[in-house]
A and B are shown apart, each in its own frame.
Chain A
Amino acid sequence: MTLRIAEKKGEWINRDMPLTFTYEGQTVEAFEGDTMSSALWAAGIKVLGRSFKYHRARGVLSFANHDVNALMTDGVDTNIRADVIPVSHGMELFAVNTEGGVVKDKNRFIDRLSPFLPVGFYYKTFFKPRMMFPFWENKIRKAAGLGKVNFDYPRQLRPKRNAHCDVLIIGAGPSGLSAALTAANHGKQVILVDENRYAGGSLGYDHAADSSTSDKLETLLKQVSEHSNIRLICDAYAGGYYGDHLVPVVGKEGITKVRARSVIVATGAFEQPPVFRNNDLPGVMLGSAAQRLVHRYAVKPFHRGVVVTGNDHGYRTALDLIAGGVEVLALVDMRQQSGDEQLAAAVASKGITIHLASCIYEVIPSSDKLGVAEVVLAGYDEQTASARLEHSSRIACDGVAMSAGWAPAAALLYQAGTKMRYDYAVEQFVPAQLPEGVFAAGKVNGVYDLALRLRDGQRAAADAVRYLGGQDVEQIEVTQSFQLAPSHAYPIVHHPDGKNFVDFDEDIQVKDFINAAKEGFDNIELMKRFTTVGMGPSQGKHSNMNAIRILARIRQLPVEQIGTTTARPFFHPTPLAHLGGRGFHPHRLTAMHEWHVNHGGVMMEAGAWMRPAWYQPQGAKLTAQQAVQQEAMAVRNAAGMIDGSTLGKIEVFGQDAGAFLERFYTGKFADLQFGSSRVALLLDEAGVMVDDGVAARLAEDKFYVSTNSSNAATVYREMQRNLQLWGMSVTLVNLTGAMAAMTLAGPASGSILTELTELDLFEEAFPQGAIRTAEVAGVQARIMRVAFVADLAFEIHVPSSSALHVWQKIMKTGQPFGLRPFGTDAQRLLRLEMGHHLISHDTDGLTNPFEAHAGGLLAMDKAFFTGQRSLQILAAKPVKKQLVKFVLDPGFSAELPKECNLVINAGQITGRVTSIAYSEYLNRVIGMAFVAPDQAANGQQFDIRTDDGLLVKARVVQGSFFKLSAQ
């Protein structure tokens, strides 16, 4: 462990728990608490990955969850972020996207080809001639992507949690901690979230060798942990800000969806790299990354190094480096003068030479190109962003710490709708106008001094408490003044040979921006899309700000006129399984579900419901087709029963109930007799058929309406919506789940039912369409005479709680009569034999009643019904297609045409088959089809084209199919 140093107060590693793992086959020793990167760095291993485009060697950049060039695979998972994910014992790690190992990556030659690959090169080549594109595309796809997905990765269902609070504080650095204490002391329930393993933010590493900093942190953490109003969640990030203060807090195990009454964003700022040639070599890292290495992991970032800075933070970094045992050879300040005199004096007192108005012109790589050998110092002319080489000198070293400035971690603020402005005193975007209930504190708010950040946290919390109604809470003022801004206005050093990287994810150099602008991509959004800056996995956390500065310089515009790109969720990339959660797929089961299953029911999904498609009788080995025909024959010759509980069932009552149904449906209901029913056809405003149910009148002010199973929710919703619009005195009760229904059908159905009810079932007493209330098998039931599947059939509605009892009683009673249960497949056949169309099966999203022979259901003389106006217009136009019944020739034995095979006339499409089935009872193939109006006459023949392109003759039938059979 060449770079591990003596114990640091507050370090995150547990020296009592050593562990070993391998990296690229090499055994590495580490401690529990090390991240992959810190463990490797401690072991002196500096090549942690290869870059996406040029396959350049890369090491540590940020230690802040955007080291996108240090992605690992452990054989199970991929694209693991080595800078933040802890290493564990026995892991076998490899860098992703290399060929032949990270050090000897075969693709490293691409770096040398980079002059051939200017920005947007792929738009300019690979497509001439056209036939060559697939060849090149194949090569590009091979080179693309980062890690390989493991196709055996197990399916994971991760739970989601919900939480609520008065104040959600994002970021537990100094301002977040102090905000939490302030809000909690005012009695507010606080959730405080931080993406790091431990709270504290920069207090934990940005010490500038001041040992009292960790004491301050300890005190704050103690207060927070002891406060009963504060819930601290670490190791979890706020994934995004969504409307009405909804913030998904993404932890290792899953997501907690926090709905807060107010949100304080104290997310801090991302340190930004200065841009100079070879600023990406392993060993060149951000100052804050070096500080994190020293204080969190007790690792020396390098042995002898140089600090390059554009702000005071570089001075703090230098002091922390010395505290970490690094020999700091020079401090290179790109500014004309240093800022904080005390800091400068402290640095100078350590014997470090401070080079003002200077820059690193370039870093000279070691001979293997895997590390730093020397840096070239030069003067810096900020006006021209160029190095003054007349003053250049070289320093041999093995590392560089960079501190050019900051970019606010403002993604959540943007997502909340915050208007930001560029503050030249801070050289940073800061909130100008925050949305209601959203507050910002600390660095993200442009406040940098530690004492002021603590105060800014209090200020934001006081604002939040006042927003939540605490009018008596005093307003706190935070004023800061800078001698020099915490960020450098233009920390960019041009170099004729390039490789001065702005975006490390995507390998984008300064010249790429200049060239993109040259080609016309000179606004920030177009530049982003053409150069792909900020489009990599770190989403521009270290690159967007420099890109904006470069573009501003190119356009010679002030930074605020360049603007920013839109910050979209997620703050950090978020796993699909976290977002997907448990993946609930709820089904609805009818009261008879178990019975169906126990009696061989083959269950199928029907919308939200599970329904038997057909039954396999005990001990039998029927095919589906055989079973369906037998079930249908039972209905025709004896009796059958189907579970119709899935029908929509809605009670409509109130003084306007009749009038409401008249407006809602096409038919007349105001004059409907008690105890009788009518077909209820629902149209949309365009006159398209939506549903056909039955509306029965139970009393003057009470109707019982059924809908098609698949439309139960739609019809209820439309009723509610129209009720709001029309303002009628009607109450709706959705009984779809509360009531079960079963249809007993067939010639023996009356005889069976008679044994279980007192009700007079004879034709005169109980005609077609009648509804009666009576006991069936001792249970109060609503019974309707219906004729959907057979001429004689009873629909029996009972409370779901009693339905199984009634069902079983009827089945038992019916046994001697030959009663069989039938499923949805037989039901479809039976209704087809009866000549009834099924809406949305035989009709489509444009079918009107005139096309489906449903004109008889339209009471056009009513004052109003939904769709009436459209029908008045349609009635004046010729019908374009017609739904007809048809038969195939007797004895048709070839493969049946399929539903949705087309009707073809003289090479043109004139319609399609909507239903087709063989009926054993009729011994014919029957069906329904849309045809042209001139093909719709009784007995007329038309052609159906099968999948194989054969034409099959069909004949239109206008009466009943049963009469046909009798002929």
Chain B
Amino acid sequence: MPLSLLKYALSREHPAPRFFRDCTEPKKTYDAVIIGGGGHGLAAAYYLAKDFGITNVAVLEKGYIGGGNTGRNTTIVRSNYLTPEGVNFYDASVQMYEGLSQELDINLFYSTRGHFTLAHTESAMRTMRWRAEVNKHVGVESYVVGPEEILKACPQLDISCSGQAPILGALYHAPGSVARHDAVAWGYAKEADRMGVEIFQNTEVTGIDVKSGKVVGVQTNKGYISSGRVLSAVAGFTPRITEMVGIETPIVIHPLQACVSEPMKPWLNTILVSGSLHVYVSQSSRGELVMGSSLDPYEVHSTRSSLDFVEGLSSHIVDMFPFLGNVKVVRQWAGMADITPDFAPIMGKTPVEGFYLDAGWGTWGFKATPISGKTMAETMARDIAPELIKSFRLSRFEEYELTGEKGAASVGH
């Protein structure tokens, strides 16, 4: 029992301050406006304040903070990507995550458990090697392992997947972690608020005011706010925001679904992903199996769950772990993933001056929360994108300079 809990027992009053103020009336003007109170938006606000002293910032969230994909993802953090640009970027994020609990003074339950991407075919093994080689080159701990090493980390796994899809090997990624996703949003909100950032929940942006190619303000359901710097960090709602400023992106929206089991005594200590079986699974500190699958195959702006998804996922989970047949699924849900053609994000400046975009996060946004916040804050403060995110610029699509993460991102959570 840590001594820090003593104060709660000794006090009748709950001796804990608010995480963030209850802001309801926005001011007329801010130095920067951030649309979207998810992890990314809140992190950007935090780093604007911390790294650049820009604290006159409003974060506008149409629902509640962390209520979008921040609270819907399966919380996996990793950096075993395919392109050197991707690996460097996500590795920077992993390194920030490792000290983030201490920095934000909140326990994020950042738990490094190791991450296996299972390969069931020779061609999957080739891709694993490709990723391993690129990772090693950049200095990230990933390597190809055989079935024995997988079984050592997870002896319960049926390596033949019930005879349906025998596992030939895996890409092992030692830094692979899980974290308490909501707490990431809360932690950034707390510290940003402490430095003066104002967070407005239930505040919806209804229009963005652009004059002579420059952003001058946003319309909201709580009135007009003028600002020359506006960041959109709204994941699945990106097309609605970009429409407001009249820029086009190649983003399409696909639902991404996940589900969680009843709690059971923890037994699964690693994170397992199978591209062929479209499964990723880890076990939370509450004892629930957190399970997800690949994107829904169709474009749709909806967070309704489908039976089809949970049937397919369950079938594959039972292939991998035949003994889980009577373990029960408690809850399923969906998020809206903003997908780019090359499965890499869109970050940085846009043709509209002062309008910045943090989008295209598809199924890989949570793991990039700290680094995206930091780099977008720098982009906004200096009006120039840092080197680390240059290859994620919006203009790459018309320049045919794609950052091909398809092989690493499409199912590998």
Chain A contacts to B: CB under 8 angstroms: 52, 77-79, 97, 113, 115-118, 121-130, 133, 136-137, 140-142, 144-156, 158, 240, 242-243, 246, 248, 257, 415, 496, 511, 514-515, 518-523, 525-526, 529-530, 536-537, 539, 566, 568-570, 573-581, 583, 585, 605, 686-687, 841, 844-846, 870, 873-874, 877, 898-902, 904, 909, 912, 945, 947
Q: What CA separation (Å) do A146 and B284 show in the bound complex? A: 13
Q: Please tell me if the beta carbons of A539 and B331 are within 8 angstroms of each other in the complex.
A: yes
Q: Please tell me if the beta carbons of B129 and A128 are within 8 angstroms of each other in the complex.
A: no
CB distance from A917 to the nearest CB of B (A): 13
Q: Please tell me if the beta carbons of B266 and A568 are within 8 angstroms of each other in the complex.
A: no
Query: Known interface pairs A537-B330, A874-B400. Does A248 touch B307 (Cβ–Cβ under 8 Å)?
Result: yes
CB distance from A856 to the nearest CB of B (A): 21
Interface flag for B29 (CB, 8 Å): no
Q: Please tell me if the beta carbons of B67 and A525 are within 8 angstroms of each other in the complex.
A: yes
CB distance from A99 to the nearest CB of B (A): 11
Q: What CA separation (Å) do A479 and B357 show in the bound complex? A: 54
Residue from B17, B319, B324, B400 in contact with A873 in the complex, judged by beta carbons closer than 8 Å = B400
> CB-CB contacts of B260-303 with A at 8 A, as 1s and 0s?
01111111000000000000000011110000000000000000
Residues of B within 8 A of A146 (CB): 262-265, 287
| Nearest 6 pairs of A and B residues by beta carbon | A145-B287, A577-B325, A155-B322, A573-B328, A580-B315, A579-B314
- Which B-chain residue is minimally distant from A71 (CB atoms)? B262
Q: Please tell me if the beta carbons of A900 and B133 are within 8 angstroms of each other in the complex.
A: yes
Query: Known interface pairs A125-B107, A575-B326. Does A583 touch B164 (Cβ–Cβ under 8 Å)?
Result: yes
Interface flag for B207 (CB, 8 Å): no
Of B1-9, B241-249, B373-381, which binds chain A?
B1-9
Q: Please tell me if the beta carbons of A116 and B5 are within 8 angstroms of each other in the complex.
A: yes
Q: What CA separation (Å) do A425 and B388 show in the bound complex? A: 60
Residues of B within 8 A of A115 (CB): 8-9
Interface flag for B195 (CB, 8 Å): no
Residues of A within 8 A of B2 (CB): 125-126, 136
CB distance from A68 to the nearest CB of B (A): 9
User: Can you list 16 A-B contacts (CB < 8 A)?
Assistant: A116-B6, A133-B107, A146-B263, A148-B265, A156-B325, A496-B12, A520-B21, A525-B63, A537-B262, A570-B330, A575-B328, A576-B327, A873-B400, A874-B400, A898-B129, A902-B133
CB distance from A386 to the nearest CB of B (A): 15
Q: Please tell me if the beta carbons of A529 and B182 are within 8 angstroms of each other in the complex.
A: yes
Query: Known interface pairs A126-B107, A147-B265. Does A576 touch B325 (Cβ–Cβ under 8 Å)?
Result: yes
Q: Please tell me if the beta carbons of A155 and B162 are within 8 angstroms of each other in the complex.
A: yes
Q: Please tell me if the beta carbons of A570 and B331 are within 8 angstroms of each other in the complex.
A: yes
Residue from A125, A149, A579, A898 in contact with B5 in the complex, judged by beta carbons closer than 8 Å = A125
Residues of B within 8 A of A909 (CB): 84, 134, 137
Q: Which of B128-174 contact A (CB under 8 A)?
A: 129-130, 133-134, 137, 144, 156, 162, 164-165
Query: Known interface pairs A529-B182, A539-B330. Does A128 touch B102 (Cβ–Cβ under 8 Å)?
Result: yes
Query: Known interface pairs A113-B1, A128-B102, A574-B329. Does A144 touch B265 (Cβ–Cβ under 8 Å)?
Result: yes
Q: Please tell me if the beta carbons of A521 and B19 are within 8 angstroms of each other in the complex.
A: yes
Beyond the given pairs A125-B2, A579-B329, 20 more chain A to chain B contacts, judged by CB atoms under 8 angstroms and listed by A's residue number, are: A113-B1, A123-B186, A124-B4, A128-B102, A146-B264, A155-B325, A240-B305, A521-B19, A522-B22, A526-B65, A569-B310, A574-B328, A575-B325, A575-B326, A580-B316, A580-B317, A686-B341, A844-B404, A873-B400, A904-B137
Q: Please tell me if the beta carbons of B14 and A514 are within 8 angstroms of each other in the complex.
A: yes
Interface flag for B216 (CB, 8 Å): no
Residues of B within 8 A of A97 (CB): 265
Residues of B within 8 A of A569 (CB): 305, 307, 310, 331-332
Q: Please tell me if the beta carbons of B318 and A576 are within 8 angstroms of each other in the complex.
A: yes
Residues of B within 8 A of A874 (CB): 400
Interface flag for B220 (CB, 8 Å): no
Residues of A within 8 A of B86 (CB): none
Q: Please tell me if the beta carbons of A901 and B129 are within 8 angstroms of each other in the complex.
A: yes
Interface flag for B306 (CB, 8 Å): yes
- Find the residue from B101, B284, B400 having the highest chain A CB count within 10 A: B400
- Which B-chain residue is minimally distant from A945 (CB atoms)? B133
Q: What CA separation (Å) do A846 and B64 show in the bound complex? A: 39
- Which B-chain residue is minimally distant from A505 (CB atoms)? B263
CB distance from B324 to the nearest CB of A (A): 5
Q: Please tell me if the beta carbons of A137 and B406 are within 8 angstroms of each other in the complex.
A: no
Residues of A within 8 A of B156 (CB): 151
Residues of B within 8 A of A148 (CB): 264-265
Interface flag for B352 (CB, 8 Å): no
Q: What CA separation (Å) do A31 and B386 show in the bound complex? A: 73
Residues of A within 8 A of B129 (CB): 898-901, 947
Q: Which of B41-72 contact A (CB under 8 A)?
A: 63-67, 71
Q: Please tell me if the beta carbons of A576 and B314 are within 8 angstroms of each other in the complex.
A: yes
CB distance from B175 to the nearest CB of A (A): 14
- Which A-chain residue is minimally distant from B17 (CB atoms)? A519
Q: Please tell me if the beta carbons of A145 and B111 are within 8 angstroms of each other in the complex.
A: no
Q: Please tell me if the beta carbons of A845 and B329 are within 8 angstroms of each other in the complex.
A: no
> CB-CB contacts of B399-410 with A at 8 A, as 1s and 0s?
010101011000
Interface flag for B127 (CB, 8 Å): yes
Residue from B84, B110, B285, B318 in contact with A144 in the complex, judged by beta carbons closer than 8 Å = B285
> CB-CB contacts of B91-127 with A at 8 A, as 1s and 0s?
0000000110110001111110000000001010011
Residue from B5, B101, B107, B306 in contact with A117 in the complex, judged by beta carbons closer than 8 Å = B5
Number of contact residues on B: which range applies?
35 or more
Q: Please tell me if the beta carbons of A150 and B323 are within 8 angstroms of each other in the complex.
A: yes
Q: What CA separation (Å) do A579 and B317 show in the bound complex? A: 10
Q: Please tell me if the beta carbons of A899 and B315 are within 8 angstroms of each other in the complex.
A: no
Residues of A within 8 A of B333 (CB): 566, 568
Q: What CA separation (Å) do A147 and B267 show in the bound complex? A: 11
Q: What CA separation (Å) do A144 and B180 show in the bound complex? A: 15
CB distance from B208 to the nearest CB of A (A): 26
- Which A-chain residue is minimally distant from B315 (CB atoms)? A580
Q: What CA separation (Å) do A912 and B304 show in the bound complex? A: 42
Residue from A129, A142, A149 in contact with B327 in the complex, judged by beta carbons closer than 8 Å = A149
Q: Please tell me if the beta carbons of B64 and A153 are within 8 angstroms of each other in the complex.
A: no
Q: What CA separation (Å) do A814 and B120 show in the bound complex? A: 37
Q: Please tell me if the beta carbons of B324 and A576 are within 8 angstroms of each other in the complex.
A: yes
- Which A-chain residue is minimally distant from B136 (CB atoms)? A949
Residues of A within 8 A of B318 (CB): 155, 576-577, 580, 583
Residues of B within 8 A of A124 (CB): 4-5, 16, 106-107
Interface flag for B183 (CB, 8 Å): yes
- Which A-chain residue is minimally distant from B267 (CB atoms)? A149
Interface flag for B201 (CB, 8 Å): yes
Residue from A79, A566, A578, A580 in contact with B264 in the complex, judged by beta carbons closer than 8 Å = A79
Query: Known interface pairs A116-B6, A526-B64. Does A145 touch B162 (Cβ–Cβ under 8 Å)?
Result: no
Residues of A within 8 A of B102 (CB): 127-130
Residues of B within 8 A of A902 (CB): 133-134, 137
Interface flag for B20 (CB, 8 Å): yes
Q: Please tell me if the beta carbons of A520 and B101 are within 8 angstroms of each other in the complex.
A: no
- Find the residue from A158, A539, A578, A874 having the highest chain B CB count within 10 A: A578
Q: Please tell me if the beta carbons of B183 and A570 are within 8 angstroms of each other in the complex.
A: no
Residue from B66, B285, B304 in contact with A140 in the complex, judged by beta carbons closer than 8 Å = B285
Q: What CA separation (Å) do A935 and B331 show in the bound complex? A: 54
Residues of A within 8 A of B101 (CB): 127, 130, 133
Residues of B within 8 A of A841 (CB): 123
Residue from B201, B266, B407 in contact with A523 in the complex, judged by beta carbons closer than 8 Å = B201
Q: Please tell me if the beta carbons of A581 and B1 are within 8 angstroms of each other in the complex.
A: no
Q: What CA separation (Å) do A687 and B402 show in the bound complex? A: 12
- Find the residue from A146, A240, A568, A898 having the highest chain B CB count within 10 A: A568
CB distance from A536 to the nearest CB of B (A): 8
Query: Known interface pairs A583-B315, A845-B407. Does A137 touch B111 (Cβ–Cβ under 8 Å)?
Result: yes
Q: What CA separation (Å) do A577 and B265 show in the bound complex? A: 19
Residues of A within 8 A of B311 (CB): 579-581
Q: Please tell me if the beta carbons of A579 and B315 are within 8 angstroms of each other in the complex.
A: yes
> CB-CB contacts of B319-361 with A at 8 A, as 1s and 0s?
1001111111111110000000110000000000000000000
Q: Please tell me if the beta carbons of A145 and B264 are within 8 angstroms of each other in the complex.
A: yes
- Which B-chain residue is minimally distant from A145 (CB atoms)? B287
